[in-house]
Amino acid sequence: MDAPIEGTLIDRIVVVDRITRQRNNTFHDTSSLPGHTIQLTIEGSAHHESEGRIFETGPGLIAWFCRDEEVRIRITKVPWSFLTVNFIAPHLPPPPFDQSIRRAALGTQQLFESLLQTWRDNSARSLIRHIRVKARLLDLIADILPSESTPFHLDPVAQIWWGLEAELRDRLQEHIDLKFLRQLSGRSIRTLYLACHRAAGMAPLKRIKKIRLSMARGLILHSALSISEVAYRVGYERVQELSRDYHHHLGLTPLQDRSAGPDYRRTKLRYLRS
């Protein structure tokens, strides 16, 4: 007999949308939103590089991103159009790494379209709409979780860094320097530099700062934590240091960013400039 399921699976749904891009042959470095992001390509194609994976999206391909993954995208066939949902679900494990890119089943797009239609339907009472949207999302998740993966190329050198980074994301409150990275990974500093550059195109400590700022932004936009508590959780000793780096990378302070709200529809503000 299966164990009982306890607790709330979905804390919050941030956005459901259909997005179309018309420009191709240009790389875009971005981050997935905090939490879980599921995308289903319905038209066109795009080349993706994420967490050491290299894959091509096309009609009918599902991609599941989790925890602010760094993604490099080059649109290869326009218009590139996809359905997307972002939601916060701390207790929901993402699919196994080798199953996060997969071919959608025959009914997956219909489930996604139903979710989008329900999300956009403002005629229902707030509570009823809330229940229906969560129900549609749960149907979609149940549809896409068990699957076989779509083959992708995995860079073994870059994967050294991605494996280390996965552990670092749970230890951001600690003091992280090159000595700490070497001891944690059992790799030489030279190997870590090579792996990090291959994976993210930058030096290890610069990458750690970017992760901290990315996770800080997720907490600022999607939690009620004070700025000082956010700073502590991502490893800043002083809130002033977080505010300084935050402004340098985003062009506005944490409080200004929180007041402006999520920027998935903003086009002028780049999500964590390199």
Q: Give per-residue pLDDT as tens, 139-181.
A: 999 998 855 545 556 678 888 887 888 788 888 899 999 999 9
CB contact at 8 A, 90 and 65: no
CA 173 to chain centre: 20
Domain interval for residue 214: 156-260
Distance between CA atoms of 208 and 229, rounded to whole angstroms?
Answer: 19
Q: What does the pLDDT look like over 177-225, one tens digit per residue?
A: 999 999 999 999 999 999 998 877 889 999 899 888 888 887 887 778 8
Looking at the structure of the chain, the number of domains it has is: 2
Quick one: CA torsion of 204, 194, 181, 228, rounded to 10 degrees?
Answer: 10
With a cut of 50, say whether residue 264 has pLDDT above it: no
Band the pLDDT of 259: cuts 50, 70, 90: confident
Spatial neighbors of 143 by CB under 8 A, at least 6 apart, are 105, 107, 108, 111
Residue 198: the pLDDT is: 85
Q: What does the pLDDT look like over 222-248, one tens digit per residue?
A: 778 899 999 999 999 999 999 999 999
Residue 2: the pLDDT is: 42
Residue 54: the pLDDT is: 78
CB atoms within 10 A of CB 38: 27
Q: Which of 153, 157, 270, 167 is nearest to 211 (CA)?
A: 167
Full-model pTM: 0.64
- Asked whether residue 45 falls in the same domain as residue 76, the answer is yes
Domain with residue 189: its CATH number is 1.10.10.60
- Asked whether residue 16 falls in the same domain as residue 149, the answer is yes
- Asked whether residue 186 falls in the same domain as residue 78, the answer is no
- Asked whether residue 109 falls in the same domain as residue 138, the answer is yes
- Asked whether residue 46 falls in the same domain as residue 134, the answer is yes
- Asked whether residue 46 falls in the same domain as residue 57, the answer is yes
CB contact at 8 A, 40 and 46: no
Is residue 270 one of the residues assigned to a domain?
no
Spatial neighbors of 111 by CB under 8 A, at least 6 apart, are 136, 139, 140, 143
Please say which residue of 153, 175, 198 terminates a domain.
153
Average of per-residue pLDDT values in the chain:
82
- Asked whether residue 141 falls in the same domain as residue 210, the answer is no
Q: What does the pLDDT look like over 52-63, one tens digit per residue?
A: 677 788 999 999
Which runs of E-coded beta strand occur in 129-173?
153-154
For the chain, the C-alpha Rg in angstroms (whole number) is 19
DSSP 121: -
